[in-house]
Structure formats: C-alpha cells, structure tokens
Homo-oligomer: A and B are copies of this chain.
Amino acid sequence: MSVEAVTAENQAPPKPRRKLRNYLLDPQFQMKYVGMVVGVTFVVASVLGAFVYDFSTSLTDSMMANELLLDEYQGSASFQQIEERARAFDRFVLISIILGVLSLVVALGLTGIVVTHKVVGPAYKMRLLLSEIGEGRLSLRGRLRRGDELQSLFVSVEEMVDRLRAEREEQIDALDRAIAKLRAGDDRDQALASLEAMRDQMARSLE
C-alpha cells in the first residue's frame, strides 16, 4: 500500500483552506493589476464623490438659508441649531461617500485577487511541468483544475509533450532496429545509414 493510500484512508479529506493569503501566489503580478483596477476605481469614484459632495453642500447651504428665512417668521430654531444640522448633513454625506468609495475598492480588490489567482495558479503549475520536461521526463503529471484559466496554453503543452514522446518513440525504434542489425552482423551499411539519418534529423531540430 502506498504512502498516499495510507494517508488518504487515515485522514479526513483536508478541507481546502480558502484564506486570502492562499490566493496570493504571485503577489507582485496580482497586486499590480489589482492596484490598477482599484486605482482607476478610486480616482473615478473620488471625482464623482467630490462632485456629489459639492452638490450636497450647496444644497444644504440653500436649505439652511431657507430655514434661516423661515426662522425670521417662525422663531422655531436658533442659527446655531440650524447650522449644526446642516453641517451634520454634510458630514453624513462625506462619510457616506468615503464609505462608498472604500466599499467599491474593497469589492474590486477582492474580485481582482480571485480573478488573477485563476491565471497565476495555472502559470505556476505549468512552470513546474515545463521544468520536469526540461529534466528529461516527457510526461505531464498533473492537470489544471476546472475554472483555471490558460487552459488552451496547457493544451499546447500537452500536445508538445505528446509530439516529443512520439518523436522519441520513433527514435528508440530506429535505434533498436539498427542495434539488432549490427548485432546480427548483417546490413551494417544500412544500419549505419539509418543511424546517420537519425543523427541528421536530430541536428536539424537544433537549427
């Protein structure tokens, strides 16, 4: 029984720990783009917010002016009370705008991290696979997960490995046939010619 099988039997399947940190596989790349999206939002939303705030304060000012006029007739509130109420309104608007911009930034920041993770994860996995191929293991151990991006790039890696394998299998066959002929002692020239053909084909791939 393999170690893997033992582990699988004795342990409950590990719950995937979906911490935010786990989504930051390549913080440099991810934060750059999250930063861009969040930055654009921050600038646009702040400009809009400033506009809304300006509009709101001029509205409360005119409201205050009206109330002061009313006050002259009714005597229902002091100037301080009316001004305090108007300023409280303005503060409320300002805080709402700041909270609004912050909630946009947080919502898009989280979206950006999750989105970039779906690109960074597969890229990381492919780097490991390409490194194994470079070390001379012409097979792919591993698949992308559903929902991962760069699937078509992964398919290209698979196709490349398949073709490199097929080429190598042909080379092994050619070697086997040449070796068998040379061992048997017949057709030495033909065997050598096929080895040379193989050598030339290999050399062409390096051009």
| A binding-site residues for B, Cβ under 8 Å | 26, 29, 33, 36-37, 40-41, 44-45, 48, 51-52, 55-56, 59-60, 62-63, 66-67, 69-70, 73, 89, 93, 96, 100, 103-104, 107-108, 111-112, 115, 119, 123, 126-127, 130-131, 133-139, 149-150, 152-153, 156-157, 159-165, 167-169, 171-172, 175-176, 178-179, 182-183, 188, 192, 195-196, 198-199, 201-207
Q: Which residues of B contact A37 (CB under 8 A)?
A: 37, 108, 111-112, 115
In the assembly, what is the distance between CA of A65 and CA of B199, in Å? 95
Additional A-B contacts beyond A52-B100, A131-B159 (4; CB < 8 A) = A45-B104, A56-B59, A73-B73, A123-B150
Contact B104 A41 (CB under 8 A): yes
Contact A36 B111 (CB under 8 A): yes
Q: Which residues of B contact A55 (CB under 8 A)?
A: 93, 96
What is the chain B residue whose CB lies nearest that of A115?
A: B33
Between A and B, 28 residue pairs with Cβ closer than 8 Å are A37-B115, A40-B108, A40-B111, A44-B103, A44-B107, A45-B104, A48-B104, A51-B100, A52-B52, A59-B59, A59-B63, A63-B63, A66-B70, A104-B104, A119-B119, A123-B150, A126-B153, A126-B156, A130-B157, A130-B159, A130-B160, A131-B159, A134-B156, A139-B206, A139-B207, A179-B196, A179-B199, A195-B195
Contact B104 A130 (CB under 8 A): no
In the assembly, what is the distance between CA of A159 and CA of B133, in Å? 10
In the assembly, what is the distance between CA of A101 and CA of B175, in Å? 68
In the assembly, what is the distance between CA of A196 and CA of B139, in Å? 22
Q: Which residues of B contact A175 (CB under 8 A)?
A: 195, 198-199, 202
